[in-house]
Amino acid sequence: IDIVFVIDTSAGMGADGLMMVKADISTLVGQMSLDPNSERHVQVGLIKYSNVAETIFKPSDYNNEDEFNVDLWTDARLADVDENEDEVNLNLGLVEAARMLGSMRRGVKKAVVVYAASYE
């Protein structure tokens, strides 16, 4: 399976909410194999959004779940929510996720997991 995580990083998510989201993603990815030499490996991408969407991790960035989890907790782009940004545009995150899914492996099931504080 190929998975794209889409995370709301607007002020509405809050620092505690973002911490819980990262813990959830870390737990999920820790139970998978990102090693392409493994018969049942997973490709994982991660996008953040508020009033804009940004790809943080491309599916090709990782072949080891431990490296993914280290970066999940240390990447400055995921260090905190944007306290100055109340606007949330989930559509931008989903459009970016669709682009990412289109670049992933053919013939493999795909999933988008959205973590949203709110949506309209």
Q: Dig out the tokens for 120 from the structure.
A: 């309209």
The arithmetic mean of pLDDT across residues 86-99, rounded, is 91
Question: Quick one: which of 110, 108, 115 has its CA closest to 100?
Answer: 110
CA angle 89, 109, 117 (to 5 degrees): 25
3-class secondary structure, 67: helix
Mean of pLDDT over the chain: 91
**40: how many CB neighbours lie within 10 A of its CB?**
8
Residues 7-24 have pLDDT tens digits of 999 988 999 999 999 999
Query: According to the model, what pLDDT value does residue 82 have?
Result: 79
Contacts within 8 Å (CB) and 24+ apart, 25-31: 25/72, 25/115, 26/69, 26/72, 26/73, 29/65, 29/68, 29/69, 29/72, 30/65, 30/69
The answer, as to whether pTM is greater than 0.95, is no
CATH T-level assignment (fold) for domain 2-115: Rossmann fold (3.40.50)
Ranges 16-30, 52-66, 72-86: which has the least confidence: 72-86
Is the predicted pLDDT of residue 39 greater than 90, yes or no?
A: no
The arithmetic mean of pLDDT across residues 84-100, rounded, is 89
